[in-house]
């Protein structure tokens, strides 16, 4: 059964929603599904721009067949070889043996690595000095390495001013009856998932994202067509996603407030985290968020690391080390190259020194341009008068820092 949607008069969205996969890349929960976007250009020469995950391949092939109406497929454009966009590529190439396969030299090498079926006589190596005329449409190409793989290119349609942006400007969440962002309430339906997508998938490569955005900054762009999530056709929507992505790429916080991330075995560290939140609010800090890392998947919590300016981590000592859930979360944040945050720590132990506080301090000290506020608070088993006084002092420091920057 085919499902296609016109982007312009002769360019179509031919992607497929995935409501089956529980975890993207087998690690990131996607409770609202995800779309794998592909595009079809119907011209004197026909072209498919990127393919889809093999899980949804049959619907995708139906879309291609419907739009071809029995004609040949002339080109398959490969912007990104990650398998969620390429695992149906070999099947498409075999079904339409006349189609040329156009991609960067590295993308074509990856084609052979994944499929072990060289098709060198069909390759068209694309680069920034190459144009591909299809008839009414002419395609240009811009290298976008490490957004978020090294072989990535952006394809630009000079005629309809469409930027096919690979994984840039994408988001989680299946499309809801339309490929266009303005056919939904973007802020309500997609913005959080766009932040989560960027943070979990692309945030390590912020400088590469900014470099790629600079390359296309002067192009007249009417449509941004990513490989996941909605197509942006309204000026306000394009401006929003470009502004958000640039901000995320620089790790600029959106909310000047505190997010408190905690792990707790018997509830005592949870109590301390909640107490600190109340103390911050009493000092005039609005929009404080408290996150239980044992109940909230790290892929959701990481989006709050991106969103908030001040990060507080509270955890227990466990087997003379740091509680594993917190260790994993701090390691994930470090791997995504979090930077420019103010950080505070609280560690809990009963019969050992403040090992949790010590290890957390060591881990966050490696984060670029991050400042530790005060020393780690030591909770001895459960919060009492001594711990309450220490949390008062820490709350004073955090609130003062937040409010000083606001003045």
Task: Looking at the structure, tell me whether residues 166 and 105 fall in a common domain.
Answer: yes
Q: Of the candidates 232, 249, 266, which is a domain's last residue?
A: 249
Tokens of 392: 């008062």
Q: For residue 108, how far is the Cα from the chain centroid?
A: 25
Task: Looking at the structure, tell me whether residues 225 and 283 fall in a common domain.
Answer: no
Task: Looking at the structure, tell me whether residues 109 and 154 fall in a common domain.
Answer: yes
**Which residue positions in the chain have pLDDT lower than 50?**
none
Tokens of 167: 């994984």
β-strands 47-49, 28-29 pairing: unpaired
Flag whether 224 is in a domain.
yes
Please report, for the domain that includes residue 313, its CATH number: 3.40.50.360
pLDDT single digits (tens) 226-256: 999 999 999 999 999 999 999 999 999 999 9
β-strands 75-78, 23-24 pairing: unpaired
For residues 215 and 206, the answer to whether their CB atoms sit within 8 Å is no
Task: Looking at the structure, tell me whether residues 98 and 165 fall in a common domain.
Answer: yes
Flag whether 268 is in a domain.
yes
Task: Looking at the structure, tell me whether residues 245 and 268 fall in a common domain.
Answer: no
Flag whether 352 is in a domain.
yes
* CA end-to-end distance (rounded Å), the chain: 58
Task: Looking at the structure, tell me whether residues 223 and 270 fall in a common domain.
Answer: no
pLDDT at 317: 95
Q: Of the candidates 249, 282, 309, which is a domain's last residue?
A: 249
Task: Looking at the structure, tell me whether residues 230 and 335 fall in a common domain.
Answer: no
pLDDT at 103: 98
Between CA 6 and CA 317 the distance in angstroms is 56
Task: Looking at the structure, tell me whether residues 294 and 347 fall in a common domain.
Answer: yes
Count other C-beta atoms under 10 Å from residue 229's C-beta: 24
pLDDT at 293: 98
β-strands 39-41, 34-36 pairing: unpaired
Between CA 140 and CA 134 the distance in angstroms is 11
Residue whose pair of structure tokens reads 């905690």 in the numeric block:
262
- Residue 76 dihedral angles phi and psi, to the nearest 5°: -115, 115
Cα radius of gyration (the chain)? 24
Half-sphere exposure of 103 (CA within 13 A, CB side): 32
Tokens of 250: 């620089």
Task: Looking at the structure, tell me whether residues 144 and 230 fall in a common domain.
Answer: yes
Domain that holds residue 267: 258-402
Please report, for the domain that includes residue 75, its CATH number: 3.60.15.10
Task: Looking at the structure, tell me whether residues 165 and 276 fall in a common domain.
Answer: no
Task: Looking at the structure, tell me whether residues 69 and 21 fall in a common domain.
Answer: yes
Count other C-beta atoms under 10 Å from residue 159's C-beta: 18
3-state secondary structure of 127: coil
Task: Looking at the structure, tell me whether residues 29 and 105 fall in a common domain.
Answer: yes
pLDDT at 352: 81
pLDDT at 353: 86
Q: Of the candidates 225, 249, 273, which is a domain's last residue?
A: 249
Q: Which residues contact 264 (CB under 8 A, 6 or more apart)?
A: 270, 271, 273, 292, 294, 314, 316, 348
Flag whether 407 is in a domain.
no
For residues 144 and 167, the answer to whether their CB atoms sit within 8 Å is no
The domain total for the chain is 2
């Amino acid at each position: 059964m085919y499902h296609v949607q016109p982007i312009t008069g002769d360019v179509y969205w031919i992607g497929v929603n995935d409501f089956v996969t529980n975890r993207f890349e087998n690690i990131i929960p996607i409770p609202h599904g995800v779309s794998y976007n592909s595009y079809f250009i119907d011209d004197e020469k026909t072209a498919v721009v990127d393919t889809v995950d093999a899980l949804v391949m049959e619907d995708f092939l139906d879309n291609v067949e419907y739009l071809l109406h029995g004609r040949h497929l002339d080109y398959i454009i490969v912007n990104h070889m990650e398998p969620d966009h390429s695992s149906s590529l070999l099947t498409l190439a075999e079904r339409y043996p006349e189609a040329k396969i156009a991609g960067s030299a590295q993308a074509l090498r990856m084609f052979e690595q994944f499929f072990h079926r060289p098709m060198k006589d069909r390759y068209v190596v694309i680069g920034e000095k190459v144009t591909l005329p299809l008839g009414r449409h002419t395609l240009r190409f811009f290298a976008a390495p490490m957004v978020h793989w090294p072989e990535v290119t952006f394809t630009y349609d000079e005629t309809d001013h469409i930027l096919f942006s690979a994984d840039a400007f994408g988001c989680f969440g299946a499309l809801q009856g339309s490929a266009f962002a303005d056919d939904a309430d973007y802020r309500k339906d997609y913005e959080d998932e766009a932040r989560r997508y960027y943070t979990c998938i692309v945030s390590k490569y912020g400088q590469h994202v900014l470099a790629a955005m600079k390359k296309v900054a002067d192009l007249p762009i009417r449509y941004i067509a990513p490989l996941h999530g909605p197509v942006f056709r309204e000026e306000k929507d394009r401006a929003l996603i470009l502004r958000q992505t640039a901000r995320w790429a620089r790790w600029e916080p959106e909310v000047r407030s505190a997010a408190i991330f905690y792990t707790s075995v018997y509830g005592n560290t949870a109590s301390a985290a909640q107490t600190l939140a109340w103390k911050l609010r009493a000092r005039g800090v609005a929009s404080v968020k408290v996150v239980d890392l044992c109940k909230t998947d790290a892929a959701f919590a990481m989006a709050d690391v991106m969103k908030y300016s001040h990060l507080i981590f509270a955890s227990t000592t466990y087997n003379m080390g740091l509680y594993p859930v917190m260790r994993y979360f701090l390691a994930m944040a470090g791997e995504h190259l979090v930077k420019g945050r103010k950080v505070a720590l609280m560690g809990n132990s009963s019969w050992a020194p403040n090992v949790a506080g010590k290890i957390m301090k060591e881990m966050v000290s490696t984060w670029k341009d991050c400042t530790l506020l005060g020393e780690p608070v030591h909770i001895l088993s459960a919060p009492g008068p001594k711990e309450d006084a220490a949390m008062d002092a820490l709350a004073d420091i955090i609130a003062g820092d937040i409010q000083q920057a606001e003045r």
